[in-house]
Structure 1
Amino acid sequence: MEKQIIYNSNLHFEHEIWRRELFFWQDELIIFNNRLSELVTRWTKKEVLKQLDHFQNEFILHGGVIEDLLEEMEIHESRMADQDLLSHDAMDTMMVKKHMEFRKKWKYRKRSIQLLKGNSFVF
């Protein structure tokens, strides 16, 4: 069985796709929070305000996770750049493992954001 070589450039490309999507989600959260602000001024029922508060908390939580993912990706990019300086085009096993773990987190977060967006459009 032949070993698969995973190149830094491929992982960097994947990071760029993720980074752009994370920035997009950040922009969406700003829009959602602006919409929440509008709704809070229109509604006085406690049940509705409670639900709006729940969504605000979810948006804050997801915003924090997005920041964490961006930071983690930046660290990984820095390590990849260090390898490039050493003229290593291929990732070592530990770095690939880290990337695969991050990919798993990414897929989970993407699904979580999709669910949040689906639930948010109820209001």
Structure 2
Amino acid sequence: MKNEVLYNSNMHFEHEQWKGELAFWKDELVFFNNKLSELVTRWTDKDVLAQLEHYQNEFVLHGAVIEDLQEIIEKHEERIAGQSMTGEDALDMASTKEHLAFREKIETQRHIYAELKKEFFRFLEKYM
């Protein structure tokens, strides 16, 4: 890894982007869960109900991941605020590595969630 200096203002901007994305995902999960509730009233087929339960579990898990990610961002923001008060604008190496690892975590989750949505939309096309 090259020596990358991350400035607080840039990280704060990236955090804001992520927070917006996570909030959007949370809203989508509400919509998806409403679709599941609608389908539960329409279907008695055991296979379809098993798939509904699968998606319900996936959405619960994804919701928990969203909350974890939001919590990590908040903690990181507190540290940035603390550094800003001391007049430091760049994060130390450990914090920089942590931020880059978190960025990777967000990107991974973005991919996992996109796949889940694609799968769910195919399911909806079949059973709605």
TM range (shorter): over 0.9
Q: Distance in 2 between matches of 1:107 and 1:36?
A: 27
Match of 2:102 in 1: 102
C-alpha deviation, 1:3, in angstroms: 5.4
Partner of 1:25: 25
Report how many aligned residue pairs link the two structures: 122
- Partner residue in 2 for 1:69: 69
Superposed CA RMSD in Å reads 1.2
Q: What letter corresponds to residue 17 of structure 2 in structure 1? A: I
Aligned to 1:113, the other structure's residue is in SS state helix
What TM-score does the superposition give when structure 1 sets the normalisation length?
0.96
Task: Give the match's secondary structure for 1:91.
Answer: coil
Distance 1:5 1:48 in 2: 51
Q: Which amino acid aligns with 1:108?
A: T
Question: Equivalents in 1 of 2:16, 2:88: separation in Å?
Answer: 20
Partner of 1:117: 117
Tell me how far apart the structure 2 counterparts of residues 108 and 4 of structure 1 sit (CA, whole Å): 21
Secondary structure of the structure 1 residue equivalent to 2:41: helix
Shift of 1:78: 0.5
Query: Deviation of residue 75 (structure 1)?
Result: 0.4
Q: Distance in 1 between matches of 2:38 and 2:93?
A: 50
SS at the partner of 2:6?
coil
Corresponding residue for residue 52 of structure 2:
52
Q: Is 1:13 matched up with 2:13?
A: yes
1:43 corresponds in structure 2 to 43
- Counterpart residue identity of residue 29, structure 1: L
Deviation at 1:6, TM superposition (A): 1.9
| CA displacement, residues 37-61 of structure 1 (integer Å, 9 cap, x when unaligned) | 0000000000000000000000000
- Gap change, CA 1:4 and 1:68, over 3 Å in 2: closer
CA–CA separation in structure 1 for the residues paired with 2:110 and 2:70? 14
Q: How much has 1:5 moved relative to structure 2?
A: 3.1
Unaligned runs of 5+ in 1: none
